[in-house]
Amino acid sequence: MASLIMAPSLTVLPKRSAAVSKTSNSTHSTIRCVQRPLEEIYSIRVEKNVSKERLAELGVSKWSTWKTGKCNVPWDWHVDQLVYIEEGEVRVVPEGSERHMSFVAGDLVRYPKWFEADMWFNGYYQERYSFRAYGDD
């Protein structure tokens, strides 16, 4: 005699990265995707409004200087690079991404080895930079 096995019904749950929001005037739900910050995805470390003490500790005043005006520069990092932005702003678009990160004067940014991106400068920009060995801070 054959037996019939009934499988339990399945409930479809939203993905962990999705959030559900409702508006008071609406009778439907909207699902919105929560995206991880690009800095986290690409292992870029950023310190905002770095103190003079921290800059002195790193020896930033002895680092090489790089300046530019309004332009777009494709770049790839063959080593870790630590950058202190002295003036201006840069918009960094990782290769293959439609999203961007913005860094401004006063930010200390660590770009990892093998990172590739387009860098967009909307005006005068000046940075101090230092190439780092893995693990150096």
Label residue 15 by pLDDT band (50, 70, 90). Answer: very low
Express each pLDDT in 115-125 by its tens digit: 999 999 999 99
Structure tokens at 115: 């990172």
48 or 27, higher pLDDT: 48
2 or 10, higher pLDDT: 2
Structure tokens at 96: 């293959």
| Phi then psi dihedrals of residue 62, to 5 deg | -95, -5
CB atoms under 10 Å from CB of 101, counted, come to 19
Q: In the chain, where are the structural domains located?
A: 43-131
Is pLDDT above 50 for 18?
A: no
Per the CB < 8 A criterion, the answer to whether 116 and 89 are in contact is no
- The confidence score (pLDDT) of residue 96 equals 92
The whole-angstrom separation of Cα 132 and Cα 124 is 26
Structure tokens at 38: 């690009």
- Which strand (E) or helix (H) includes residue 89? strand 89-94
Considering the domain 43-131 in this protein, what is its CATH number?
2.60.120.10
Express each pLDDT in 74-86 by its tens digit: 999 889 999 999 9
The whole-angstrom separation of Cα 10 and Cα 109 is 47
Cβ burial of 106 (10 Å; 0-12, 13-18, 19+) is middle
